[in-house]
Amino acid sequence: MAKPSNPSFLQLALARQTVLSGGVIAYPTEAVWGLGCDPWNHEAVEQILQLKQRPVEKGVILVAGSVAQIRFLLDPLPEDLQQQALKHWPGPVTCLLPDVNRQIPEWVRGKHSSIAVRVSDHPVVRALCHATAMPLVSTSCNPAGRQPARAIWQVRRYFGDQVDRVVPGALGQNRKPSRIIDIVTGQQFR
C-alpha cells in the first residue's frame, strides 16, 4: 500500500474553498475514505447525512489535525479525562468527550451528550484540517449498510457528482475504522 502523502497546494486550496463555502469533500483517512465538511454548517452536515442515509440522532465524528484544534472541548474537562484522551492522540482512536458547554451543534452531536473526536496522524486529514483551520466532520464514505469506500472508484460509484470535491491521496495502513472509546467509562464501542 502506498504511503499517504499530502495533497498539493492547489488541491488543498480547492478543498479549503469547498469546505468554507458549505461543500462536502471525500478524502482518504487512516483506514477508509471519509466524507467531511464544516461541522458548524448545518446544511453541509445535512447533505452528508442525506448521502449516507444516516439519521441525525446517531451523530458524526469530528476529526482534527492537532490537539490545539479541539482544545476548547478538552479544557472544560477534569485533568484526568483530558489525559485519557491525549494518550490516544494523534492516532486512529476516536474518543467520546463530554460536551460540557454544549459547544458542538446538535446536528453533529446527535442525541448524545458527548462528542466523538479524533486527532488524526494521517497526513491528508491533518493537511485538510490545517488548511481549513478547523476540525472537520469525518464519517465513512458509504451509504448506510454498504462497505466503506477503500478506493477512489468506490467513492465515485457510491456518490458520483454528489460530493463537491474528492481530495486525492492514499489510505493509511489501518485495515479497520478507528476504535471508539468513551473516556469517562473506558468502554470501547468499536
pLDDT digits over 98-141, tens only? 998 889 999 999 999 999 999 999 999 999 999 999 999 999 99
Reference 88, options 181, 167, 184; nearest CA is 181
Please indicate, yes or no, if residue 1 is contained in any of the structural domains: no
The DSSP H or E segment spanning 92 is none
Percent of the chain with pLDDT over 70: 96
pLDDT 10s digits, 34-76: 999 999 999 999 999 999 999 999 999 999 999 999 999 999 9
Return d(Cα 139, Cα 14) in angstroms, integer.
20
**Residue 137 DSSP SS3:** strand
Please indicate, yes or no, if residue 189 is contained in any of the structural domains: no
Q: How many domains does the chain fold into?
A: 1
Please indicate, yes or no, if residue 2 is contained in any of the structural domains: no
The DSSP H or E segment spanning 129 is helix 123-132
Using the predicted structure, report yes or no on whether residue 2 has a pLDDT greater than 50: no
pTM over 0.75: yes
Reference 85, options 115, 56, 48; nearest CA is 115
pLDDT value of residue 82: 96
pLDDT value of residue 5: 57
Please indicate, yes or no, if residue 125 is contained in any of the structural domains: yes
CATH number of the domain bearing residue 104: 3.90.870.10
**Which one has a higher pLDDT value, 118 or 190?**
118
- Range 73-98 average pLDDT: 96
Domain that residue 14 falls in: 9-182
For CA atoms 148, 37, 70, 61, give the dihedral sign.
negative
Please indicate, yes or no, if residue 58 is contained in any of the structural domains: yes
Return d(Cα 104, Cα 158) in angstroms, integer.
28
Please indicate, yes or no, if residue 53 is contained in any of the structural domains: yes
Please indicate, yes or no, if residue 190 is contained in any of the structural domains: no
Please indicate, yes or no, if residue 172 is contained in any of the structural domains: yes
